[in-house]
Amino acid sequence: MRETPEKNKSWFYKWFLNNQLTVILINIFLVFLIIFLFSKISFVFQPVGQILGIIMPPVILALVLYYLINPLINVLENKLHVNRIISIAFVFIIILALLIWGVMSLIPFVQSQIDSLVKNWPQYWDSLNKSLQNMFSDPKLHLVKERLAATNASITKNFEKSMSHVLPQTMNNLSSAVSVLTNVVMILLTAPFILFFMLKDDKKFKVSVVKFVPNRLKKSVSDMLSEISQALSSYITGQLTVAFWVAVMFFVGYLIIGQRYALILGIVAGILNLIPYIGSALALIPSLVIAAFIAPSMVIKVLIVFAVEQTIETRVISPIIVGNKMQMHPVTTILVLLVSAGLYGLIGMIAGIPIFAILKIICTRIFNWFKRNSSWYDEEDVEPLDETTPAKDTETSKKNHK
């Protein structure tokens, strides 16, 4: 059968059937149509969401611990030639011993500081409020003082109102509290078993996933999984290591200047440092409130500790430990934090960057595949500057013409 010449084909074939842009738009339309249809039958997937809600917390906890512990297991296995299961058991025993030591010695001290801080916090807040009112006693700042007093009254009223409902809500939601406590206990009991098998069979996981992939995509999918694993490992280990040293620096700094509740404030600073950019600043707020109650000079000392900590963290610790392994521009990071915080709050701020990094890796590989298989990026299609005259000759002729 003779093929129809290109010039004799209809306009419908040229503009629709043989047009890449049209095909891409049709595919995009089909994707959105599928999403729309799935949204109409979302009730079918509710059990799946409930199952994931039960499974994911212990898996995520085990995954975080896996990336922290796996490098040590690899050193014991590859460098010291210790059996992997024996290495895992040894590390688990050390972790269990540290947990027992923390429960027996560290936790009671932290609890005593927390109890004292909660008991004295209203007094600290009132003292700070009075100091601010005295600061704005100037008649020129009368409007600011009124707004400050109104804001403080609103905060106090809302706090008292919420506290008045705490006990009734607690009694009414006692079953919910028991359920939450049960879930936490189940997560803590289940995560170590998942972690053990992750450490034991870490090399088999990728093989088990890749074997379901078509042969021509096995290498690409394997490389993508390795890249995702490396990105998660770098982010998790880096962030937790930096958070640990931030907690240590704040604790030591507060001890040196004589700040109260140095240990609990240091721990809070380390935990909040998991929130990029604003974590340390948020941790500074309770410390400033307590310092304002002690003396104005203590506020200056706390600010000095914060400045020293930020300098060491940004110039020494973060570049050495984290570096730029995530390969994200600061503006991109801020935008990701804004979106993730707006959608999912604190959890979104913590998990937004690693999820974005995973999506970035997947989208980059899909785009690279599209470049390899699309004629849009063929170098041979790039028109030369002049078909008859080389670029240098063209520039020379322009100069001579001038």
Per-residue pLDDT of the chain (402 residues; tens, 9 = 90+): 455 555 556 666 666 666 677 777 888 888 889 888 888 887 777 787 788 888 888 888 899 899 889 888 888 888 888 888 998 999 999 988 988 887 787 777 777 777 777 777 777 667 666 666 666 565 555 566 666 666 666 666 665 555 455 445 544 544 555 666 777 778 888 889 999 988 888 878 888 888 888 888 888 888 888 888 888 888 888 888 888 999 999 999 999 998 888 888 898 899 888 887 777 788 888 888 888 777 778 889 999 999 998 888 888 887 777 655 666 777 787 788 888 888 887 788 778 888 888 888 888 888 888 787 776 666 655 555 444 444 444 445 444 544
Euclidean distance between CA atoms 49 and 121, whole angstroms: 40
Place of tokens 């570096």: 323
Euclidean distance between CA atoms 71 and 66, whole angstroms: 9
The 3-class SS string of the chain reads: CCCCCHHHCCHHHHHHHCCHHHHHHHHHHHHHHHHHHHHHCHHHHHHHHHHHHHHHHHHHHHHHHHHHHHHHHHHHHHHCCCCHHHHHHHHHHHHHHHHHHHHHHHHHHHHHHHHHHHHHHHHHHHHHHHHHHHHCCCHHHHHHHHHHHHHHHHHHHHHHHHHHCHHHHHHHCHHHHHHHHHHHHHHHHHHHHHHHHHHHCHHHHHHHHHCCCCHHHHHHHHHHHHHHHHHHHHHHHHHHHHHHHHHHHHHHHHHHHCCCCHHHHHHHHHHHCCCCCCHHHHHHHHHHHHHHHHCHHHHHHHHHHHHHHHHHHHHHHHHHHCCCCCCCCHHHHHHHHHHHHHHHHHHHHHHHHHHHHHHHHHHHHHHHHHHHHCHHHCHHHCCCCCCCCCHHHHHHHHHHHC
> Does pTM surpass 0.75?
no
